[in-house]
């Protein structure tokens, strides 16, 4: 689960990580008030969306315009010279802050990372400008190979770390953290000296890093990325930006963080699926699919593509799905208007084929099915499952195996079109 | 009375050869941790397959029975009184990490954790705790392990398996069943099938499992099923090239998965351009491993690899 920059900064500040003074605003008037209260000579107004590249993006009015900018420029290179507003603006008064907020709120911000649809801006963060001596980079994440946390620091602030890793890997310092003792003072000092923090700033930098690690660990974050991390004129570290992701598996014990979820940033179908404990991800293809098990679900998407179609979704109904959950999954898949055929691919293990079949039949009574339906059943109680479908009188195309099912679904979609 | 912590490295393993049936065989005595509906259902399923399901653990319910199985308050008691040497865990996510560590603390040599949804920071602690201990963890978030015809510990449908000489290693559950089904249909039996789990941190990885199969005199070839996320497949490819003496066929799920989205499994996510199916396939092919072009061709790809090696 991701949160907005302003939320991430609030959380980090609780752990003692230095962040710029500022406040989120949901209206032009609020933005003006926040800016006036800050009383700073230089202020920054930042659009709050769950995607990076905001400064180099563009604020537009329509989805069409966002799509055009994305396809023509952002997807490949940066934008050419333009007179559109970006998602991050420097201003010098409360009036200017209000104008900047007005230019962003309610509009779409399209960046390299938003995709062609852009994201609707509902809030802006108004912050004090700061005295930037150098831009650095710092992040904490999990090294899956060792099962340990890793701190990454770089002298190349403001750049994508993947690019730095590829082009100038010597400018990244990596510190593996022993979870039994946490980030050592000595490790933090090593990072601080390596980054070139002046001697008088080292002690404070150590506190910054240890706070960052405590925040990562105690809030069950999967990633904290501070990019840029700023060394101020006074030699101290400041988190100018903050990107945080949290472990969905840990949300049950992090109610405060679970409450920060912004449904507007997610596909409504995915939120719907979440309510029924279904794993669903919307894609942009034409063949809907429903599968039990994540690996088989991914493989099913792949085989649909290999058969000449494009998957409309990822959908794992799980191992212990009930007929009711299967029925709900079916409704979610059919609610996608791009779907021209549905392929149900089930390998019954714990999940029995007859339960699945009953769920499909039940759902078909509730929803009008206007697209061809291909079903492949294999595994536990396969014969009972096939019988339920045969007796239902539904117009279902049977498939022998995965490849056959994918081919039949793609063919059925083409015939319909 | 069976003494605690009886686990020793089997002599064949010390000699560099180790039977996979040492992980699990007809002598395995299994304790079930987590006796909710799921745990009890699979306790019966595993017993029907022929596995010795000797004990259950439910704190506070010691002395009772569940599914005709003695229940103990602690894993240590199950080891003492019933000689349990394998644990299978269905404990819900908040207590699952502790359940793994309790089993390890009781000296259980093989712990199979089925539970899906354990927080990552809990697994970081588990991984650290297991360092230096004689406990092998399989999973979490996995279907378990089966030695066809001998024993099954987990939730896989036993009847699709056939005893034979091909090892199967997979990050997925149902996709493993698909692979096993295809092999069985082709008349190719399996020595042992291990679901290593779909989480970012797992106890037994591809390399650990490949190493075991490589040294297993009862295994001739291995089917390895990976998916997007992390770089375990890339590391395994390099290891295979250096060390493996038996043919290994592979498949990677998730060619069509979008970046930044968790595809069901907590570990199946492409982040920062890392962990794509294309990168993994390239690494496997570079290591000389045949990669099934489609999930419908898992079995035939493995058979072709065996024929080439013969």
Residue of A nearest to B232 (CA): A145
Which residues of chain A does B114 touch, with a Cβ-Cβ cutoff of 8 Å? none
Cα separation, B86 vs B31, whole angstroms: 6
Which domains are assigned to chain A? 21-128 (3.30.1490.20), 132-258 (3.30.470.20), 267-416 (3.40.50.261)
Mean pLDDT computed over A95-118: 93
d(CA A283, CA A302): 13
- Contact between residue A295 and residue B174 where contact means Cβ atoms under 8 Å apart: yes
Helix, strand or coil for residue B155? coil
Q: Is residue B9 part of a domain?
A: no
| A277-318 residue pLDDT tens | 899 999 999 999 999 999 999 999 999 999 999 999 999 998
Most A-contacting residue of B48, B118, B121, B281 (CB-CB within 10 A), to test interface = B121
Structure tokens at A356: 């699945």
Whether residues B125 and B38 share a domain: the answer is yes
- CA torsion sign for B258, B262, B267, B270 is positive
Q: How many domains, chain B?
A: 2
pLDDT digits (tens, 9 = 90+) for B28-82: 999 999 999 999 999 999 999 999 999 999 999 999 999 999 999 999 999 999 9
CB contact under 8 A, B264 and A178: no
Q: Work out how many CB contacts closer than 8 A connect A with B.
A: 178
Among chain B residues, CA nearest to A381: B157
* Partner residue opposite B295 with nearest CB, options A145, A348, A402: A402
Does residue B187 share a domain with residue B108?
no
Q: Which residues on chain A are in Cβ contact (under 8 Å) with B160?
A: 379
Rounded CA separation B3/A59 (Å) = 71
With beta carbons under 8 A apart, name residues in chain A contacting B257.
298, 301, 314
Nearest to B104, CA basis, from B76, B78, B77, B82 = B76
Strand order in the sheet with B65-66: B65-66, B69-72, B52-57, B29-33, B86-89, B110-113, B136-138
Strands of A157-260 (E only): list them. Answer: 172-176, 221-232, 237-239, 243-246
| B202 and B303 fall within a common domain | yes
Per DSSP, the three-state class of A265 is: helix
Q: Which residues of A touch B125 (CB under 8 A)?
A: 179
- CA dist B176 and B53 (Å) reads 24
Lowest-confidence pick of A77-81, A174-178, A227-231, B222-226: A77-81
Nearest-Cα residue of chain B relative to residue A280: B264
pLDDT number for residue A408: 96
| B102 alpha carbon, distance to own chain's centre | 19
Token readout for B83 is 């000689």
Query: Which residues of chain B fall below pLDDT 50?
Result: 1-15
Inter-chain CB proximity B256 and A301 less than 8 Å? yes
CB atoms within 10 A of CB A196: 11
Q: Are residues B112 and B73 in the same domain?
A: yes
Which residues have CB under 8 Å from A323's CB, separation 6+? A355, A356, A358, A359, A362
Evaluate whether residue B78 is within a structural domain.
yes
Instruction: Give the SS3 label for residue B224.
Output: strand
Of A162, A370, A130, A329, the residue nearest A241 (C-alpha) = A130
Residues 260-299 of B with CB under 8 A from A: 261-268, 272-274, 277, 293-296
Which ranges constitute the DSSP H helices of A113-201? 161-167, 185-195
Give the CATH number, domain containing residue B281: 3.40.50.261
Task: Please check whether residue B174 lies inside any domain of the structure.
Answer: yes
In tens, the pLDDT along A133-155 reads: 999 999 999 999 899 999 999 99
Q: For position B65, which CATH number holds?
A: 3.40.50.720
How confident is the model at residue B12, as a pLDDT?
Answer: 41
How is residue A160 written in tokens? 């994508």
d(Cα A119, Cα A123) in Å, to the nearest integer? 12
Same domain, B164 and B262: yes
- Are B109 and B224 found together in one domain? no
Does B162 reside within a domain?
yes
Provide the pairing of β-strand B52-57 with B29-33.
Answer: parallel
Contact list in A for residue B296 (CB cut-off 8 A) is 303, 401-403
pLDDT at A103: 95
Report the candidate in A391, A395, A355 with the shortest Cα–Cα distance to residue A375. Answer: A395
Q: Do B120 and B197 lie in a common domain?
A: no
> What is the least distance, in Å, from the CA of B209 to any CA of chain A?
15
Query: Which of B138, B173, B206 lies at the terminal end of a domain, its last residue?
Result: B138
Question: How many C-beta atoms surround the C-beta of residue A107 within 10 A?
Answer: 22
B102 shares a domain with B33: yes
Residues A322, A319: Cα–Cα separation, whole Å: 9
C-alpha distance from residue B175 to each of A291, B200, B241, B283 (Å) = 10, 18, 25, 21
Contact A103, A85 (CB under 8 A): yes
Domain hosting B216: range is 156-309
Could you tell me if A94 and A45 are in contact, meaning their C-beta atoms sit under 8 angstroms apart? no
Which of B133, B295, B300 to mutate: most A Cβ within 10 Å? B295
Residues within 8 A of A (CB atoms), B 11-50 only: 38, 41
Residue A186 CB neighbours (<10 A): 9
**CA diameter of chain B:** 57
**Domain end point (choices B103, B138, B173):** B138
Which one of A245, A293, A294, A352 makes the best mutation probe of the B interface by having the most chain B beta carbons within 10 Å?
A: A294
Q: How far apart are CA A174 and CA A342, in angstroms?
A: 46
Q: How confident is the model over A364-415, as pLDDT tens digits?
A: 888 778 899 999 999 888 899 999 988 988 888 999 899 999 999 999 999 8
> Cβ contacts (< 8 Å) between B172 and chain A: which residues?
293-296
User: What residues of chain A lie within 8 A of the CB of B253, using their CB?
Assistant: 295-296, 298-299, 302
Mean pLDDT of chain A: 92
Confidence tier at A53 by pLDDT (50, 70, 90)? confident
Residue B133 shares a structural domain with residue B168: no
Q: Report the complex ipTM.
A: 0.91
Please indicate whether, in this complex, the C-beta atoms of A293 and B263 are within 8 angstroms of each other: no
Pair B71, B175 in one domain: no
Do the domain assignments include residue B86?
yes
Pair B162, B109 in one domain:
no
Is B265 noted as a catalytic residue in this protein?
A: yes
Query: What element of type H or E holds A383?
Result: helix A382-392
Nearest CA in chain B to A402: B296
Mutate to test the interface with A, among B36, B94, B120, B143 (most CBs of A within 10 A): B120
């Amino acid at each position: 689960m991701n949160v907005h920059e302003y939320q991430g900064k609030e959380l980090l500040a609780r752990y003692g990580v230095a962040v710029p003074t500022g406040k989120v605003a949901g209206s032009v008037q609020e933005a003006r008030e926040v800016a006036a209260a800050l009383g700073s000579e230089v202020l920054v107004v930042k659009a709050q969306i769950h995607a990076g590249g905001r400064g180099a993006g563009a604020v537009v009015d329509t989805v069409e315009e966002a799509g055009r900018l994305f396809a023509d420029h952002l997807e490949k290179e940066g934008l050419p010279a333009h007179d559109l507003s970006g998602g991050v603006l420097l201003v010098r008064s409360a009036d200017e802050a209000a104008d900047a907020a007005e230019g962003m709120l309610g509009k779409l911000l399209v960046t390299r990372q938003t995709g062609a649809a852009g994201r609707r801006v509902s809030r802006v963060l108004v912050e004090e400008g700061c005295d930037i001596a150098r831009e650095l980079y710092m992040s904490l994440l999990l090294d899956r190979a060792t099962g340990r946390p890793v701190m990454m620091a770089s002298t190349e602030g403001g750049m994508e770390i993947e690019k730095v890793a590829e082009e100038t890997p010597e400018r990244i310092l990596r510190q593996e953290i022993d979870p039994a003792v946490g980030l050592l003072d000595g490790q933090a000092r090593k990072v601080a000296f390596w980054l070139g923090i002046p001697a008088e700033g080292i002690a404070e930098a150590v506190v910054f890093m240890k706070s960052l690690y405590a925040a990562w660990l105690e809030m069950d974050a999967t990633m904290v990325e501070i990019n840029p991390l700023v060394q101020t004129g006074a030699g101290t570290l400041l988190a100018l930006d903050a990107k945080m992701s949290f472990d969905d598996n840990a949300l049950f014990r992090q109610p405060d963080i679970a409450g920060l979820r912004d449904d507007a940033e997610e596909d409504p179908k995915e939120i719907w699926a979440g309510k029924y404990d279904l794993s669903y991800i919307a894609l942009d293809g034409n063949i809907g699919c429903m599968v039990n098990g994540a690996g088989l679900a991914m493989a099913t998407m792949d085989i649909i593509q290999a058969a000449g179609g494009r998957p409309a979704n990822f959908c794992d109904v799980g191992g212990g799905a009930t007929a009711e959950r299967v029925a709900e999954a079916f409704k979610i898949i059919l609610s996608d208007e791009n779907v021209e055929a549905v392929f149900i691919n089930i390998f019954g293990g714990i999940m029995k084929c007859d339960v699945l079949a009953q769920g499909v039949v039940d759902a078909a009574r509730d929803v009008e099915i206007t697209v061809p339906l291909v079903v492949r059943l294999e595994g536990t109680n396969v014969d009972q499952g096939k019988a339920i479908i045969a007796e239902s009188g539904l117009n279902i195309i049977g498939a022998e195996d995965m490849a056959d099912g994918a081919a039949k679904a793609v063919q059925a979609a083409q015939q319909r079109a | 009375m069976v003494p605690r912590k009886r686990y020793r490295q089997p002599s064949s393993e010390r000699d560099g050869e180790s039977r996979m049936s040492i992980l699990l065989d007809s002598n395995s005595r299994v304790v079930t941790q987590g006796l909710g509906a799921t745990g009890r259902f699979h306790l019966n399923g595993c017993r029907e397959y022929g596995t010795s399901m000797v004990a259950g653990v439910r704190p506070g319910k010691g002395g009772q029975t569940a599914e005709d199985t003695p229940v103990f308050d602690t894993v240590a008691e199950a080891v003492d009184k019933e000689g349990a040497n394998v644990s299978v865990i269905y404990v819900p996510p908040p207590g699952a990490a502790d359940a793994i560590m309790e089993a390890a603390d009781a000296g259980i040599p093989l712990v199979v954790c089925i539970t899906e949804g354990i927080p990552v920071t809990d697994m970081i602690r588990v991984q650290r705790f297991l360092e230096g201990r004689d406990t092998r963890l399989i999973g979490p978030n996995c279907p378990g392990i089966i030695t066809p015809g001998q024993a099954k510990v987990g939730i896989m449908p036993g009847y699709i398996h056939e005893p034979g000489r091909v090892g199967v290693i997979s990050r997925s559950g149902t996709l493993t069943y698909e692979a096993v089904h295809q092999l069985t249909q082709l008349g190719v039996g399996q020595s042992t099938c291990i679901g290593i789990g779909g989480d970012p941190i797992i106890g037994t990885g591809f390399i650990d499992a490949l190493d075991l199969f490589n040294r297993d005199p009862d295994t001739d070839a291995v089917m390895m099923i990976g998916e997007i996320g992390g770089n375990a497949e890339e590391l395994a490819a390099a290891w295979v090239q250096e060390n493996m003496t038996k043919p290994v066929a592979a498949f990677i799920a998730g060619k069509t998965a979008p970046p930044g989205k968790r595809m069901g499994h907590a570990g199946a996510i492409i982040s920062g351009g890392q962990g794509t199916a294309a990168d993994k396939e390239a690494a496997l092919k570079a290591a000389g491993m045949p990669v099934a072009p489609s999930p419908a061709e898992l079995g035939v790809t493995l058979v072709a690899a065996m024929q080439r090696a013969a």
